[in-house]
Chains A and B, each alone.
Chain A
Amino acid sequence: DAGVTQSPTHLIKTRGQHVTLRCSPISGHKSVSWYQQVLGQGPQFIFQYYEKEERGRGNFPDRFSARQFPNYSSELNVNALLLGDSALYLCASSLGFGGGAFFGQGTRLTVV
């Protein structure tokens, strides 16, 4: 079975641009969450979606938005990119109810 897949794996954007990151969960998983990991730190929670509804949001500005589609895949959008948005963006899927989240390989975003 395929694990969590994220695309693209690497991305370079210019300040002020917009970016869309994509995530396909493990088959049967209805919960998708997004995390930002800056080099040398633990991941920081951005969004949680379960059954296509936003269930939680971390302490990130409104420039960050996300959605979950009927097939449970998800997109993370970031507008008006800043240099500080450069990070590894991780997507995780789970069955929900504390079963443990399984992560994709991440998207490395560099803002120049």
Chain B
Amino acid sequence: AQTVTQSQPEMSVQEAETVTLSCTYDTSESNYYLFWYKQPPSRQMILVIRQEAYKQQNATENRFSVNFQKAAKSFSLKISDSQLGDTAMYFCAFMKHDTAGGGADGLTFGKGTHLIIQP
């Protein structure tokens, strides 16, 4: 079974600052996917960024980037030029590769980090 650990229950930064959210995971799988999801107060879960474990290059999506360290089983999210709208719960998630498609075990989520962007 996989586990995902987010060690920062809550973080607070000023608008326009850069913030890094931590995530570590434990798995015996060699091929898998990692994700960061954002859940604002509306409770809608939004996919922020995705990383394929077999790719060494770190994924980026505009102001969001990850630092993927496969050997250390670490997957942190960096948010640059933070904005008030970035205030939300952020969840790190793991999914093992399913050769038949679909992702047989679904997503395993961490407990989340509550990020607060102060004006």
Chain A residues packing against B (C-beta within 8 Å): 30-31, 33, 35, 41-51, 55-56, 58, 88, 90, 92, 94, 96-103, 105-106
Contacts and interface: CB of A to CB of B under 8 A. Distances in A.
Contact of B47 (A33, A42, A102, A106): A102
Interface of B: 4, 32-33, 35, 37, 42-47, 50, 52, 91, 93, 95, 97-98, 100-112
A34 to B, nearest CB: 8
Given A50-B100, A98-B97, A58 B91 contact: no
Contacts, number: 99
A55 B100 contact: yes
Contact of B95 (A88, A90, A98, A103): A98
Give me the 5 closest cross-chain CB pairs, A-B, nearest first.
A50-B102, A42-B109, A45-B106, A96-B101, A103-B45
A47 B106 CA distance: 7
Contact of B105 (A56, A96, A106): A56
Contacts of A31: 101-103
Given A42-B110, A103-B45, A48 B105 contact: yes
Given A43-B91, A96-B101, 8 more contacts: A48-B104, A55-B104, A56-B105, A92-B107, A94-B103, A101-B103, A103-B45, A105-B44
A31 B35 CA distance: 17
